[in-house]
Chain A
Amino acid sequence: MRTGASLAVVERPFRPRAVEWEMERGATQADHEATLLAQIARRDATAFETLYDRYSRAVYSLALRLLGNPQAAQEVAQEIFLHIWRGAGEFIPTRGSARSWVLSLAHHRTVDALRRQRVRAVEPLAEGDLGAGGGADVVDQALRGIEGATVRSALMTLSPEQREAIVLAYYGGYTQQEIANRLRIPLGTVKTRIRDGMQRLRVQLVHGEEERR
Chain B
Amino acid sequence: MTHEQASELLAAFALHALDRDETRAVSAHMRSCAECQLELALLQEVTGQLGSAVRQVSPPPGLREAVLAGIQKRQNVIQLQRGWAVSLAAAAALLLLVLAALGVSLSRQLTALSARLTAQEQVLALLAAPTARSVSLTGSVTAAVRFVYDPDRGRGALVVSDLRDPGREFVYQLWLIAGTQPESAGVFRPAPGQPIVLPLAADFSRYQAVAISVERAPSGAPQPTTTPVLLGKL
B residues near A (Cβ < 8 Å) are 8-9, 11-12, 14-19, 37-38, 40-60, 62-64, 66-68, 70-72, 74-76, 138-139, 175, 177-178, 180-184, 203, 206, 208-209, 211, 213, 222-224, 226-228, 231, 233
Contact = CB atoms under 8 A, between A and B. Distances in A.
Nearest to A58: B52
Contact of A107 (B47, B66, B208): B47
Contacts of B226: 11
B16 A108 contact: yes
B47 A60 contact: no
A175 B181 contact: no
B42 A48 contact: no
A104 B48 contact: yes
Interface stretch (A17-25, A123-131, A132-140, A198-206): A198-206
Contacts of B178: 41, 89
A85 B74 contact: yes
A6 to B, nearest CB: 6
B70 A43 contact: no
Contacts of B49: 148, 150-151, 205
Given A43-B183, A89-B206, A209-B42, A100 B64 contact: no
Interface string A63-98: 011000010011001100110011001000001110
A184 interface: no
Given A81-B67, A198-B43, A206-B45, A6 B222 contact: no
Nearest to A177: B19
B222 A7 contact: no
Please tell me the size bucket of the interface on A. Answer: 35 or more
Interface string A158-183: 00000000100111011111010000
A148 B181 CA distance: 40
Contact of B51 (A7, A62, A96): A62
Nearest to B201: A86
Given A104-B14, A198-B11, A206-B46, A43 B175 contact: no
Interface string A32-58: 000000000111110011001000111
Contacts of A175: 17-19
9 contacts: A9-B181, A11-B224, A43-B76, A52-B64, A57-B57, A60-B57, A61-B56, A103-B48, A177-B19
Contact of A104 (B47, B53, B224): B47
B200 to A, nearest CB: 13
B54 A61 contact: yes
B67 A6 contact: no
Interface of A: 1-3, 6-7, 9-14, 41-45, 48-49, 52, 56-62, 64-65, 70, 73-74, 77-78, 81-82, 85-86, 89, 95-97, 99-101, 103-104, 106-108, 111, 145-148, 150-152, 166, 169-171, 173-177, 179, 191, 194-195, 197-199, 201-202, 205-206, 209
Contact of B184 (A13, A43, A108): A43
Contacts of B59: 56-57, 59-60, 73-74, 77
Given A1-B138, A97-B48, A151-B53, A82 B71 contact: yes
A197 B182 CA distance: 44
A49 B68 CA distance: 8
A60 B63 contact: yes
A67 to B, nearest CB: 12
B202 to A, nearest CB: 9
Contacts of B68: 45, 48-49, 52
B224 A58 contact: no
